[in-house]
Amino acid sequence: MESCLMIDLQYNLDKLNEKINNALIKAGRKNEPIRLVAVTKTVSVDLINTSIDFGIKDIGENKVQEIQNKYENVKKPVKWHMIGHLQTNKVKAVISKVDLIHSVDSIRLMEEINGQAAQLGKIMEILIQVNISGEVSKFGINKYDIWEFFERIGQLHNVHIAGLMTIAPFAPEQSRLVFAQLYKLFVDIKSKNYDNVTMEYLSMGMTNDFEAAILEGANVLRIGAGIFGARQYL
């Protein structure tokens, strides 16, 4: 069984990398770096460890509880990403463990992250999650409300805004339009040179829409099923 899983993983990763490279070529972005976050929700610690042996450098979880459960048992060097909705009262539980929080969607959450990071003497890198399409996804801030984050961040010294994240709607034909809009916002913010803000990461694209995301400028992909197979929720 174990070797079976390993063969699948190698095959899936090879296939994925090939598709990523093809999409980069199509986008005229050949050899540009892509940060691949392997989304490990519901994936066992053993399989996570194996994936790291196969070259995975970043893993993403969407639940605080799952990070807490797995963290100590993933013994190999890897960067952890919080990609799911984060409640302010759970920030303390993950702040020392994660490298990048993709899902910051309120000023209050950003302030709490800043406070907890200050206690650790850490500067936490965050992305602002934007809900471009409005009605489709529950989380993420409205694109018109994003500017207040950049006003506030100047006074927060233990948090750094490193880019934007979005989750596209389920209909693939709408995804590309959403990604294009987020890219536009990304470029717009970049041009403003806010203190304590670098538009370095554009986190968009999952198993079913990462090629469209690459065509529209994504440089961080969050991919679960495309690496580990369809999730088995128990």
Residues in the chain: 234
At closest approach, how far in Å is the CB of 223 from ligand PLP? Answer: 5
Question: Binding ligand PLP by CB under 6 A: which of 62, 116, 133, 166?
Answer: 62
At closest approach, how far in Å is the CB of 209 from ligand PLP? Answer: 9
Q: 3-state class of 203 per DSSP? A: strand
Torsion, Cα 219 232 64 198, to 10 degrees, reads: 0
Report the C-alpha gap between 28 and 16 in whole angstroms: 18
Q: What is the DSSP letter of 192?
A: T
Interface of this chain with ligand PLP, residues 74 to 133, rule: CB under 6 A: 83-84
Asked whether position 163 contacts ligand PLP by CB under 6 A, the answer is no
For ligand PLP, the closer CB: 83 or 161 = 83
Report the C-alpha gap between 92 and 100 in whole angstroms: 14
Interface of this chain with ligand PLP, residues 165 to 194, rule: CB under 6 A: 167
Binding range to ligand PLP, per CB under 6 A, among 23-31, 119-127, 182-190, 220-228: 220-228
Asked whether position 225 contacts ligand PLP by CB under 6 A, the answer is yes
Report the C-alpha gap between 82 and 98 in whole angstroms: 7
Query: Where does this chain bind ligand PLP (CB under 6 A)?
Result: 39, 41, 62, 83-84, 167, 206-208, 222-226
